[in-house]
Structure 1
Amino acid sequence: MSKNLYVGNLAWSSTEQEVRNAFEAFGEVTSVKLIEDRETGRPRGFGFVEMSNDSEAQEAINALNGQDLGGRNIKVNEAKPRTERPRW
């Protein structure tokens, strides 16, 4: 069962490859997606990492949460399911 992780407080200069490299130290990474602003295309400072193994994902959370990546202390935790938000 794969686990989806939220990664926040990323430096805008962070790349998907940098994030992948950090998480691959703890196990197999199946995908990395950094979120960009729809209008400007600029990074929004957060993203998601999917790992194939729950225990490896938990190890990555424990090791990387609060650690420096690209000059910023990143936040790492289990991603919560997306809820539908009303469009105004």
Structure 2
Amino acid sequence: MSAEDLPEESVMRIGKRCFVGNLAWRVSWQDLKDTFRDVGNVVYANVMKDDNDRSKGWGIVEFETPEEAVRAVNELNGVELSGRKMLVREDREDRDVKQYNRENGIPNSRSRRGGPPPRAQGRGTRAPPPAEGKSSGLQVVVHGLPWSYKDDDLYAMFEEFGAIDHAEIAYGWDQRSRGYGTVRFSDVDSVTEAIKSFDGYELEGRRVTVKLDKYA
């Protein structure tokens, strides 16, 4: 779908920024800018880094217009950059989207990048409380995560599928990631989409598996 195919309101709400995941460690903000300028006028590009100045494997690209952001998602999602296939989608923290929502009385979804996760605001069919020893149908276990991923990164990875109650990385006794985590959604439709989209996905050289949590 192109920007021309979208109603004006939809284009406005998409905003001008894209989230770019699964970046190779050596990719810099300049590499991002050079890659994304093929689809539009890039006014801002940044690769997020940890406290040790190492790439966290994701970044943000902002364009001059929402139409250019739509084109970036359509044309660059899944394209290889430095040996890895980029994950390109709209940035849910886009300030233009939030301003538009405020002006039109639309609640903004809250990301772990900007505060605590939303509670029980999901769309779709809610599952009943689980019986003892049975799955609620709302939680997934995600294996094969990059070792550098923290709770915020896991949350950002899955937030496009619906409201998330929590996203947690499992840590060992040494406080290092064990390479897996859990994500709990507020509706079962989001779980289905998350599994369909990310089960078997390659992320930073690791094969991600996403399965329904049978015990939560």
Q: Do Structure 1 and Structure 2 share a fold, with TM-score over 0.5?
A: yes
**Residue 68 of structure 1 aligns with which residue?**
80
Unaligned runs of 5+ in 1: none
Question: Which runs of 4 or more aligned residues in structure 1 lie more than 2 Å from their structure 2 counterparts after TM superposition?
Answer: none
**Residue 183 of structure 2 aligns with which residue?**
none
User: What's the CA shift for 1:85?
Assistant: 2.7
Of 18, 23, 30 in structure 1, the residue corresponding to residue 31 of structure 2 is 18
Unaligned runs of 5+ in 2: 1-11, 94-110, 118-216
The whole-number CA distance in structure 2 between the counterparts of 1:51 and 1:32 is: 9
- Given the two structures, how large is their TM-score scaled by the length of structure 2? 0.37
**Residue 36 of structure 1 aligns with which residue?**
49
Richer in helix (by share): 2
Q: CA RMSD in A?
A: 1.6
- Given the two structures, how large is their TM-score scaled by the length of structure 1? 0.88
State the Cα deviation string for residues 33-61 of structure 1 (Å, max 9, x = none).
110012x1111000000011111111111
**Residue 115 of structure 2 aligns with which residue?**
84
The whole-number CA distance in structure 1 between the counterparts of 2:31 and 2:64 is: 18
The whole-number CA distance in structure 1 between the counterparts of 2:49 and 2:31 is: 16
Higher RCO, 1 vs 2 (CA within 8 Å, ≥6 residues apart): 1
Q: Secondary structure at the match of 2:115?
A: coil
What is the identity, as a one-letter code, of the residue corresponding to 2:69?
A: A
**Identity rate, percent:** 36
Question: Which structure has the greater CA radius of gyration?
Answer: 2
What is the identity, as a one-letter code, of the residue corresponding to 1:7?
A: V
Please state if 1:59 is matched with 2:71. Answer: yes
What is the identity, as a one-letter code, of the residue corresponding to 2:92?
A: K
Please state if 1:5 is matched with 2:18. Answer: yes
Richer in strand (by share): 1
